[in-house]
Amino acid sequence: MILDAIAATGHGARELGASSALLTRFAGAVVRSALTYPRTAFRLWWRSVINQVRFTAADAIPFVGTVAIAVGGIVIVEASAQAIKFGASDTLGRLLASVIVRELGPLLTAILVIGRSGTAIAAELAACRVYGEIDALEAMGVNPLHYFVLPRILGAAISVAALTVLFDAVTLTSGLLSARLIQNISLAEYVGSLKLAMRPSDIIAVTLKGAISGAGIAALCAFEGLRAGRAPTEIPQAVTRGVVDALLFVVALTGVFAVLRYL
Amino acid sequence: MSAAFRGRDLRPRRPGSEWTEPISFDVEAGEWFVIRTTPARSAALLRLCCGLDEPAPPGTMEVLGETPGTLGRDAVFNFRRSLGVALQPDGLVSNLPLIRNLIVPLVYSGHRAPAEANARARAVLEMLELVPWADARPSDLPPDIRQVAAIARALAPEPKVLVLEDPLNAVRSRMAAGVLARCKAAVPSAIVTVFRRFEPLYDIADHLVLWDARGFVAAGEGVA
């Protein structure tokens, strides 16, 4: 029993080590392929990037917007109720800035993008692997990282950065409306407390965090999609692995940004 | 005459293949070498020819004087630009219309700028009488047209050699003979596998061999 547990731990550690090595090689290959991009493909490449932005950002606006409205209403009503109860309504802005704008907004946006676009990227690339599309292009001298991966990484980085800013803006606006309607907090009070807590550098940091999240989500989901074998049953497995990797990545990234802010 | 393909003591690295005994062969430049075999052996051999897999040591696979298994990542992509490949499954990109399936490999492999690639793709579609299907997606193509489309994609980069895997098994013999004749006129060197007797390929082959568990056991017109 104990030996089995030790063996299972060892096996798990070995698998993790092998996956990490593969992921590191993949990251290196992605960077190298970005430097060796064929000039002839730039026009088609931009078209792929724009398609990715349309799918990941533009088409997701109603979904992300709805979630942002709900989150803004819930968090701000709850937070302002507590703040008023403890006579700390002047801290509301600081709370909103740190909880929603800096942390919850980027994290929730990234999670929504993982659910909507990360799964699509992993499933599409795994299906391409299963149906021989990647092998066929590779056999004809096309680097699959050029065609399948780089446009998705750039498109997702632009999309998540834009959606994060949108999410924060919609959340704060819906929070204002909720706070005014339910807690009767004035616009001046609300905006004043936000101004005290937020700096322009927050917007830059949030956009940067969104861009890194987006690039990471696309890269990890693409990595798992491309790793799929040749059986159709590997498609859902690749999607699951992609989602788990991407979730761990965005949570870790949130932690890193939080630590960096207070260093 | 130099060899287009030269295999020595070839065996695949991947376990579980039907292919256990090493094989050696030469395909001379200007020759269509047709191998009748099983899908598993065919897939393993043609992946070696394209540099998608490496042979088990001490085997070597040379194509056009290069050893794809020993090339670095960028060099192997450069090497593959000399090949026209149609494997099974055909690997036509499902979300692109047929003409873009020809254009994308030309542009992304650095062969041609988009405008030139477009002109070349149209010329190949015309040569193989596929123009009416140019804007159809692969899933909308009948199986026979889809197979000819895969060959069109292989011909588009004007390759030095062709690597074809059971290329026209869904195509009627008369149409297949026409397509193969045009392929041979365009690219005189090829390695082609076939899974069952298929007269149009047998007719066009310069060398025809049967490959079973004993290796290459028969050659010439006696293979059935």
* Token pair listed for A73: 């209403």
Q: What is the CA radius of gyration of chain B?
A: 17
Prediction pTM value: 0.86
Q: Has residue B183 been placed in a domain?
A: no
CATH number at residue B38: 3.40.50.300
**B50:A131 CB<8 A:** no
Q: Which of A29, A41, A138 sits opposite B107 (nearest CB)?
A: A41
The answer to whether residues B22 and B77 belong to one domain is yes
Q: Distance between CA B73 and CA A115 in Å, rounded?
A: 33
Give the number of domains in chain B: 2
Residue B131 within any structural domain of the chain: yes
Domain holding B116, by residue range, is 83-158
Domain membership flag for residue B29: yes
pLDDT of residue B221: 46
Give the minimum alpha-carbon distance from A38 to chain B in angstroms, rounded to a whole number. 5
Please state at what angle helix B98-108 crosses helix B114-127, rounded to 10 degrees. Answer: 130
Instruction: For residue A192, name the pLDDT band (cuts at 50, 70, 90).
Output: confident
- State the number of CA atoms in the 13 A half-sphere of B101 facing the CB: 34
B113 lies in the same domain as B77: no
Let me know: does B18 contact B40? Beta carbons within 8 Å: yes
Amino acid at A85: K
A128-164 residue pLDDT tens? 999 999 999 988 889 999 999 999 999 999 999 999 9
With CB atoms and an 8 Å threshold, state whether B109 touches A131: no
Residues B40 and B2 both lie in one domain: yes
Alpha carbon distance A245, B63 (integer Å): 39
Q: Is residue B174 part of a domain?
A: no
ipTM of predicted assembly, 2 dp: 0.83
- Interatomic CA distance for residues B12 and B30, integer angstroms: 26
- Confidence at residue A16, expressed as pLDDT on a 0 to 100 scale: 86
Quick one: average pLDDT of A232-256? Answer: 95
Within a 10 A sphere around the Cβ of A133, how many other Cβ atoms?
26
Residue of B nearest to A37 (CA): B108
For residue A134, which residues of chain B lie inside 8 Å, CB to CB? 91
Q: What is the pLDDT of residues B125-155, one digit of tens each?
A: 999 999 999 999 999 999 999 999 999 999 9
Task: Examine the domain organization and report whether B43 and B107 are in the same domain.
Answer: no
B77 and B90 share one domain = no
Are B92 and B77 part of one and the same domain? Answer: no
User: What are A28-86's pLDDT values in tens digits?
Assistant: 999 998 998 888 888 888 889 999 999 999 999 999 999 999 988 888 778 877 877 77
Contacts (Cβ under 8 Å, ≥6 apart) of B8: B24, B59, B60, B61, B62
